[in-house]
Amino acid sequence: MDGVWQQALKPAAENIEMTSHMATTNTPVPVYGTIDPTDVPVVAVRELATALKVLAGDVASLARAAEWSEDDFRRVEQFFWQRFPRDRQRKIAALVRLRSLVAVCKARRMQKLISEHGAAAAQAIVEAAASMRLNTSFGFSPVKVSCAVIDALKDPQTGLVRGVVAA
């Protein structure tokens, strides 16, 4: 990860800033607002969908997750830092969640869901990734995400999974 990512993901106790208080008392003052890498904050579905649209042009393009390069992610990061009107912590959380979302979509289980259910599955995946617990060391669990997607695709009256896209 780059310098900004490393800085943002340091635990708060390790992220120390030199202040006039520190110079006079010789005690470190922690910087608040860092992101705990063991529990990345949730983001709005809209923020994650915006990042995905900048990356791929369409939320339904998650089936092409394996095709995206580091340059594509840098383009999204540049967009977020320059044009996205959110605070630093929310931007970082959205970008970390985007990378984890793309990583989980490379799994065969997720590719199968996307191919069978199309845009509805892609939408449900983004919704799950925006609110699901995320540890940066492990990423999203394909099993947990697929269970959340299947639940989202179920018809509330019948309990059956709605519309399978014909291949």
Q: Which residues contact 69 (CB under 8 A, 6 or more apart)?
A: none
pLDDT at position 161 is 75
CA angle 13, 18, 22 (to 5 degrees): 90
Report pLDDT for 37.
66
Query: pLDDT value at position 24?
Result: 39
- Beta-carbon contacts of 151 under 8 Å, excluding residues fewer than 6 positions away, are none
Check residue 23 and give its pLDDT.
37
- What is the Cα–Cα distance from 126 to 102, expressed in whole angstroms? 10
Kindly state the tokens that stand for 92: 């970082």
> How many angstroms separate the Cα of 89 from the Cα of each of 46, 55, 97, 141?
16, 20, 12, 23
The DSSP H or E segment spanning 17 is strand 16-17
Please tell me the predicted confidence (pLDDT) of residue 150: 92
To the nearest 10 degrees (0 to 180), the angle between helices 88-105 and 45-56 is: 60
Predicted confidence pLDDT, tens digits, the chain (167 residues): 444 444 444 433 333 333 333 333 444 333 345 666 677 889 999 999 888 888 888 766 888 888 888 998 999 899 888 888 778 888 889 999 999 999 999 999 999 999 999 888 999 999 999 999 998 888 899 999 999 999 999 877 777 777 655 44
